Amino acid sequence: MFTLAARFSFFKICRFKRSISTLTMYNTADLCDVYGDLLQYAEPIFRDFGQKTKFGGKISTVKCHEDNSFVKAALAEPGEGKVLVVDGGGSIRRALLGDNVAATALKNNWSGVIIHGCVRDIAELEKINIGIKALGSIPRKTEKKNVGSRDIPVTFSGVTFRPNEYVYADRDGIVVLDKKLILEGKL
């Protein structure tokens, strides 16, 4: 009937379907096995800073440079399980997220934040039950010029993050998946 490999694949796909149906249990390696080249894969340059190391959800974006005004404003809104993806230009000169803004994100039901830039207050960030990935940490705060953009496609780390697509992150990495693949059940 079924070969051992076929049975393994069948059970793996069934387990994956159950996981995706709840959108709370997933594994980026399993996503890669099932969706392959339909995914975008971020280059492995990010570190984990939040208490959660596995998170995902619908993408919302901010583009800013050394000014976290738009990050703070976005995370002050209801997150509804979304992930804020911040294109900070890869700057390592100023932190775009600290413990106060991360605590606000948790309070407003954001699933996580991915920052192409730095964070600060890492001892406190590790205690906040939210996913946070960033390039590194620096204690220097940002300038407040109120300059940036919201909910536009942003590209960094070999990936284009588009609002309303889905991003999944864990210790293995970050992948982006068009929501239609999940909703249409293309497994």
90: CB partners within 8 A, 6+ apart? 116, 117, 135, 156
98 annotated as belonging to a binding site for a ligand = yes
> Rounded CA gap, 64 and 147, in Å?
7
101 annotated as belonging to a binding site for a ligand = yes
146 annotated as belonging to a binding site for a ligand = no
Q: What is the DSSP string of 94-123?
A: SEEE-HHHHHHHHHTT--EEEEEEEE--HH
> Could you tell me if 137 and 117 are in contact, meaning their C-beta atoms sit under 8 angstroms apart?
no
> Rounded CA gap, 62 and 69, in Å?
10
Taking CA atoms, 187 is separated from 32, 38, 81, 85, 172, in Å, by 12, 12, 24, 26, 21
Pairing relation of β-strands 112-119 and 131-137?
parallel
> Rounded CA gap, 84 and 82, in Å?
7
62 annotated as belonging to a binding site for a ligand = no
> Annotated binding site, which residues?
98-101, 120-121
> Annotated binding site for Mg(2+), which residues?
121
> Annotated binding site for substrate, which residues?
98-101, 120
